[in-house]
Amino acid sequence: MYSEKVMDHFANPRNVGEIENANAVGEVGNAKCGDIMKIYMDIEDNIIKDVKFKTFGCGAAIATSSMATEMVKGKTVDEALALTNKAVMEALDGLPTEKIHCSVLAEEAIRSAIEDYKKRGGVVNE
Ligand code: FES
């Protein structure tokens, strides 16, 4: 039911963890399933130098967090804002219909981190 790519990103998630002194942090949750996704970014001159995530959620949420962080790493803030859950799903060779909301969470988490960055004006919160 899951593609090999989903299984790979679930079993070996990329970019897991936190970034100390991140200047962008986003957290989103899904009220229905209770899953939570937190994204940390280190953004310099509008480029996402580093990105990490912590996801307390299902396997598809972990796989989409992993793929989404891979897709925005090294990109500009605007490119990352343009990332859609559909693009993440396509990169993972699809998700079962009942798991689409997990990829939406990844899109929202990236967006929320970037909104935080814009709000702070790039400043690291102590
Ligand atoms: Fe809710 Fe996957 S079941 S994020």
Question: What confidence tier does 34 reach under pLDDT thresholds 50, 70, 90?
Answer: very high
Q: What is the CA(33)–ligand 1 centre distance, in A?
A: 6
Structural tokens at position 49: 């130098």
pLDDT digits (tens, 9 = 90+) for 79-105: 999 999 999 999 999 999 999 999 999
Residues enclosing ligand 1, CB less than 6 A?
30, 33, 35, 57-58, 60-61, 99, 101-102, 105
DSSP string, 3-53: -HHHHHHHHS-SSBS--TT-SEEEEEE-TTT--EEEEEEEEETTEEEEEEE
Q: What is the pTM of this model?
A: 0.95
Specify the range with the lowest mean pLDDT, choosing from 56-65, 83-92, 117-126. Answer: 117-126
Supply the pLDDT for residue 124: 75
- % of the chain beyond a pLDDT of 70: 98
Q: Collapse the DSSP code of 54 into the 3-class scheme (helix H, G, I; strand E, B; otherwise coil) and give the result.
A: strand
